[in-house]
A and B are shown apart, each in its own frame.
Chain A
Amino acid sequence: MRSVIFIWLLFAVSQARAEDIKFSSHTERDRYKIGEWVQLVVAADIPRSVTVIAPVTSDSIGGFEVLNVDATELPDGQRRHEWNFRLITFDTGRVFVPPIQFFYQTEDDTTRKLAYSTPVALTVVGVDVDLQGDIKDIKPPLDAPWLFEDYLPYILLLLVLLIVVGALVYWRRKRRRSIEPDRFVRRVPPHETALAALRDLEDARLWQQGKTKEYYSRVTEIIRVYLEGQYGVPALESTSDEILSVMKNLDRGQGVFKELTSFLLTADLVKFAKYVPTLEENTQELASAYTIVRSTMTPVEPERRVQEKEDVHVR
């Protein structure tokens, strides 16, 4: 009762200060359910010479939460203005929408004047509960509606991933296709290459033409390349001593080590010490090279050889 008197007093004051313009408020009805939207309309007839400053509304008015404020101007000679407030409250009982502040100015006066809308009394009732009925469980949350926009980023991401994976697979297949032919290229065993090179060297008849140094350089290079291919020893980048120290451990009782030592030593003398070898030494150097290759080569199995030939033929 006390609050009703207070509201009416406030209204009386506001009426006294805003003599010219009246801001009247009303709702559709005076009884609402808890949580139901309350459509409050504040209307005023405003002469053209008056400018109303839009009401400053916060999140709440009294015990009501403000959901939305909308102003409309009706086509009327008197410039009728309406402000629609969408309110909501969760209190039950007799509640009041308090007066809302409005400022306005007249054309011939810069002073801001204050006016209040009329308060509105409402009755908010709770939800009807059937006390005799069974106790029911709380309802689960409602499912959100399926919206395509919500899933669009995920769909796009999936598409990009599929494109990337597809491109990778395509690139790998293409690469494999370009590599695959090499896989079937028959790997020539190092001894075959070495023996062929030695035969070529023999045919070149270098030492017979006086190119002794070149002859020794080539014969040692053939053997170094062979050792590299056969044993994986970096013979081309190793000195004679280094090759011998590695080969000493690799010599599998074929007695090649002694042959190799003599072969490299003679070649070093010719290559680096201006040593002039005899004719026998020249022929012996090549013979030693053949011996080194033949006694250390790994024989190729006949079946594998046939298969390899077939591969070559097919290609």
Chain B
Amino acid sequence: MDIKAINEMIQKESAFVDTLTSEVGKTIVGQKYMVERLLIGLLCNGHILLEGVPGLAKTLTIRSLAAAIDTRFQRIQFTPDLLPADLIGTLIYNQKEGKFETRKGPIFSNFILADEINRAPAKVQSALLEAMQERQVTIGEETFKLSEPFVVLATQNPIEQEGTYPLPEAQVDRFMLKIKIDYPTRDEEILIMRENLNGMPTPGTPVMTPQQILSAREAVKNVYMDEKIERYILDIVFATREPSAQKLDKLAPMISYGASPRASINLALGAKAHAFVKRRGYVIPEDVRSVAMDVLRHRVAVTYEAEAEEVTAEHIVQEILNHVEVP
């Protein structure tokens, strides 16, 4: 497809972005970064891991986004006594009709907020992550496809880690993005305070349909990515595995293992979605840089040596981004 045509198509398809963000913005003050990343996750058909202290309007943001897209939203609080059946559903015996009936769990929704995912034991986490991957759930002998769009937003509380079941690296890798939510600014917080004093904010009205999201996903795939950008993505991902190749020898003893090929795929997808959100029909290095931290921070494992020196995966990714030459 001609680049001019792609650009026109993207301009047309991405017209909803401004409407959607302004609709969410009616309920949520600030958190533009979170809304943008949620949208990228939604457009890439990826799942998102959220990390942030309680009270940063994570639930309200997701609820507002779901309402603006006219999709169903479910919040599941993960607890140590949660069972897989509580999540995906179970078979219930109907005495009147003398047969088993399927009762679907809360996972049968479009937007799932898995709150404090690390509080539930491994088997529940596993059930959720399997549903995320397969996008279908089997109850008894029957398999149900999950309705699209299906996005899981899992939260991890960075504090109070005692008695939790941290997600294994293999499962964390299934999340396309891991975003860190920070406190609002002073100006934003005063607005939040005033609005809440006038009553609890309620999610807005639908401004688009789930079908539009599915159509936008197709458009994102058509965003043009030049070979130079592909090479740039690979340079970044490979630098997490072989830092010495990028003259980053000092990082070599700090990386336990680097990002997987899934990271390259998600970085390319995320960059395309970022270009789409910016209403561009082609990817520029800025798009890659913008999503690189969110794609890589949970995919780079640091060594004990790095931990001892208080070097985090974020420091390593940032160092790599600062050193890899931009095309």
**Given that A272-B282, A275-B3 are contacting pairs, would A239 and B224 also be in contact in the complex, using a CB cutoff of 8 Å?**
no
Q: Counting CB contacts under 8 A, is B60 at the interface?
A: no
The answer to whether A234 touches B286 (Cβ under 8 A) is no
User: Which single residue of chain B is at the shortest CB-CB distance from A235?
Assistant: B326
Determine, out of B15-23, B70-78, B128-136, B317-325, the stretch whose residues face the partner at the interface: B317-325
Contact with B along A231-249 (1 / 0, CB 8 A): 0001011111110000000
CA distance A268 to B326 in the complex (A): 11
- Residue from A234, A240, A241, A274 in contact with B322 in the complex, judged by beta carbons closer than 8 Å: A234
Q: Counting CB contacts under 8 A, is B284 at the interface?
A: yes
User: Which single residue of chain A is at the shortest CB-CB distance from B229?
Assistant: A272
- Residue from B226, B286, B323, B325 in contact with A271 in the complex, judged by beta carbons closer than 8 Å: B226
- Residue from A217, A268, A274 in contact with B224 in the complex, judged by beta carbons closer than 8 Å: A274
Q: How many residues of chain A have a CB within 8 Å of chain B? A: 16
Min Cβ gap A267→B in Å is 10
The answer to whether B286 touches A273 (Cβ under 8 A) is no
- Residue from B282, B286, B321, B326 in contact with A274 in the complex, judged by beta carbons closer than 8 Å: B282
Q: Counting CB contacts under 8 A, is B228 at the interface?
A: yes
Q: Counting CB contacts under 8 A, is B289 at the interface?
A: yes
**Given that A272-B226, A272-B228 are contacting pairs, would A237 and B325 also be in contact in the complex, using a CB cutoff of 8 Å?**
yes
User: Which single residue of chain B is at the shortest CB-CB distance from A224?
Assistant: B326
CA distance A268 to B281 in the complex (A): 13
The answer to whether B324 touches A272 (Cβ under 8 A) is no
**Given that A240-B286, A272-B284, A274-B282 are contacting pairs, would A217 and B327 also be in contact in the complex, using a CB cutoff of 8 Å?**
yes
Interfacial chain B residues near A275, Cβ < 8 Å? 3
- Residue from A237, A242, A269 in contact with B324 in the complex, judged by beta carbons closer than 8 Å: A237
Interfacial chain A residues near B226, Cβ < 8 Å? 271-274
The answer to whether B326 touches A238 (Cβ under 8 A) is yes
Contact with A along B107-148 (1 / 0, CB 8 A): 000000000000000000000000000000000000000000
Interfacial chain B residues near A241, Cβ < 8 Å? 286
**Given that A268-B284, A272-B229, A274-B224 are contacting pairs, would A239 and B3 also be in contact in the complex, using a CB cutoff of 8 Å?**
no
Min Cβ gap A281→B in Å is 15
Min Cβ gap B273→A in Å is 16
Min Cβ gap A262→B in Å is 15
Q: Counting CB contacts under 8 A, is B283 at the interface?
A: yes
User: Which single residue of chain A is at the shortest CB-CB distance from B286?
Assistant: A239
CA distance A272 to B272 in the complex (A): 12
CA distance A234 to B7 in the complex (A): 31
User: Which single residue of chain A is at the shortest CB-CB distance from B288?
Assistant: A239
The answer to whether B3 touches A271 (Cβ under 8 A) is no
User: Which single residue of chain B is at the shortest CB-CB distance from A274?
Assistant: B3
Q: Counting CB contacts under 8 A, is B285 at the interface?
A: yes
The answer to whether B284 touches A240 (Cβ under 8 A) is yes
**Given that A271-B226, A275-B3 are contacting pairs, would A239 and B284 also be in contact in the complex, using a CB cutoff of 8 Å?**
yes
User: Which single residue of chain A is at the shortest CB-CB distance from B327?
Assistant: A271
The answer to whether B284 touches A237 (Cβ under 8 A) is no
Q: Would you list 23 pairs from A and B whose C-beta atoms are within 8 A, ordered by A residue?
A: A236-B326, A237-B326, A238-B326, A239-B284, A239-B285, A239-B326, A240-B286, A241-B286, A242-B286, A242-B289, A271-B327, A272-B228, A272-B229, A272-B282, A272-B285, A272-B327, A273-B7, A273-B224, A273-B226, A273-B281, A274-B3, A274-B226, A274-B282
13 additional A-B pairs beyond A239-B285, A273-B224, A273-B284, beta carbons within 8 Å, are: A237-B322, A237-B323, A237-B324, A239-B284, A239-B289, A241-B286, A242-B289, A271-B226, A271-B228, A271-B327, A272-B229, A272-B284, A273-B7
Q: Which residues of B contact A (CB under 8 A)?
A: 3, 7, 224, 226, 228-229, 281-286, 289, 321-327
Those 4 A-B pairs whose CB atoms lie nearest each other, nearest first: A273-B282, A274-B3, A239-B286, A239-B285
Q: Which residues of A contact B (CB under 8 A)?
A: 217, 234, 236-242, 268-269, 271-275
